[in-house]
Amino acid sequence: MAVVNTFTSAAQAIAKAGDGVNADLAAGSITAGGEDVVEIWVAEGESDINSRCGYDWTSNFAAASVSTKLIIQGANSDYAAMYCVDYDKSGYANGRLEAEGKINFLMDSYLRKLSLLKNKEKQDFIKNPSTGTIE
């Protein structure tokens, strides 16, 4: 199965994982089934977002507003970056402590963005800003 990602790239996830990320992971040298594992984590994040939202953002991504795309892109890269950090914590300055702090930060960011996408009161605006209202 060839991994095809719509929302974000492995490079964005690697950037969010920070300077301590495993060099082989950042270079795309770590694979599973012939695929870059970071690209796999990005694809898994995409599925997680769609499932949690109960909406197929993948199929509707092209039609989304720029602001909505950035929220989705941010959530997806947060998701994959958590796995990048967790893969090898040894590269972070304070080891496990710094890595876990980064994972907590990324998880909080992911969940906040996800809550925006799932919020039924804001969904009309998020899906189509021209029909939504701001109060």
Q: Give me the torsion for CA of 115, 120, 122, 124, rounded to 10°.
A: 130
108, pLDDT greater than 90: yes
User: pLDDT value at position 1?
Assistant: 61
pLDDT confidence bin for 121, thresholds 50/70/90:
low
pLDDT confidence bin for 129, thresholds 50/70/90:
low
List CB contacts of 33: < 8 A, sequence separation 6 or more: 1
Query: Is the pTM value of this prediction over 0.85?
Result: yes
> With contact defined as beta carbons under 8 Å apart, do 125 and 133 qualify?
yes
pLDDT confidence bin for 135, thresholds 50/70/90:
very low
| Tens-digit pLDDT profile for residues 85-101 | 999 999 999 888 999 99
The chain-wide mean pLDDT, for the chain, equals: 89
Domain borders along the chain are: 10-127
